[in-house]
Structure 1
């Protein structure tokens, strides 16, 4: 392989890293806190104790107290019935990804968790079922953690 091609490959790799880190930061994440599924950091969330009032989904959990402040505020709005800041808050979440427990169509609704510094909805959401089983995602439905309310 010529020196020119090796240089192009290195440059392409560097550009890919910058684009990925930028995308993560624009969607409310910190690239230093990126969790790889199955990694020790990811597995630690699955061992948290479950609140008996929350249906067991088999997913990892997140205590309500560990949600970002905007997530706790959104959860309060959900319990209060609004008003919600985004027109799309409260729309049906279809669970096309199949990550949440299977339920009948229309069971889940989704709500935006604002991300400071963004001028759009970002990637963070809370999805709640009719039984008020609520789940948090900060990566636009790629993964979910069941919210342990009152924890």
Structure 2
């Protein structure tokens, strides 16, 4: 190999390395941007972790889920401002009932993120202005993070339950 060929090979290696470094920096910026967006919008509890815990817990909680699944007839419940199915508060998991009791008392809440704005970015709940909804964690036994279960409260007092990290909701019929 001539000195000129060696110099070209070295230049090619440097260009490849520079491209690799630039790609890694771009990847870090994208991941950092997603993290920052999630932090600012209140969804920083690890979407991937929640997603995987949702998939894992879905198999384990099939029987519990069926007991809290609302019926089509219950959708016509009084004071339900949505077209979402309704579920009686007494049919919710014990942890959700405890969260409802804490909300009624005004706290104290076990998680720092409880009471933050819920953006309704999924668009499942009725459309309202920004800041209308607040979210509260429902403890998930065996979960190392906040889990996927939440109670969402609207400024009008309406409450919704999700056990699949905002993919679906049920209107909570209180005092039932």
TM band (smaller chain): 0.7 to 0.9
For the residues of structure 2 that align with 1:117 and 1:24, how far apart are their CA atoms? Answer: 14
Q: CA RMSD in A?
A: 2.8
Structure possessing the higher relative contact order (Cα contacts under 8 Å, 6 or more residues apart):
1
Structure ranking higher in helix proportion:
2
Is this contact kept in 2: 1:45–1:61, CA < 8 A?
A: yes
Among 106, 112, 126, which residue is 2:137 paired with?
112
For the residues of structure 2 that align with 1:138 and 1:132, how far apart are their CA atoms? Answer: 20
Q: Are 2:166 and 1:130 equivalent residues in the alignment?
A: no
Is this contact kept in 2: 1:108–1:130, CA < 8 A?
A: yes
Is this contact kept in 2: 1:114–1:122, CA < 8 A?
A: yes
Is this contact kept in 2: 1:114–1:124, CA < 8 A?
A: yes
* Deviation sequence 1:58-106 (CA, Å, 0-9, x none): 1001100011000000001111110000000000000000000011110
Unaligned runs of 5+ in 1: 1-19, 36-41
Q: Are 2:60 and 1:25 equivalent residues in the alignment?
A: no
Match of 1:48 in 2: 74
For the residues of structure 1 that align with 2:76 and 2:89, how far apart are their CA atoms? Answer: 12
For the residues of structure 2 that align with 1:104 and 1:124, how far apart are their CA atoms? Answer: 23
Q: Are 2:151 and 1:142 equivalent residues in the alignment?
A: no
Tell me the matched-pair count: 125
For the residues of structure 1 that align with 2:75 and 2:86, how far apart are their CA atoms? Answer: 8
For the residues of structure 2 that align with 1:86 and 1:28, how far apart are their CA atoms? Answer: 26
Is this contact kept in 2: 1:137–1:143, CA < 8 A?
A: yes
Q: Are 2:106 and 1:81 equivalent residues in the alignment?
A: yes
Is this contact kept in 2: 1:25–1:31, CA < 8 A?
A: no
* 3-state SS, counterpart of residue 110 of structure 1: strand
**Structure 1 residues 32 and 95, CA gap change in structure 2 (3 angstroms):** same
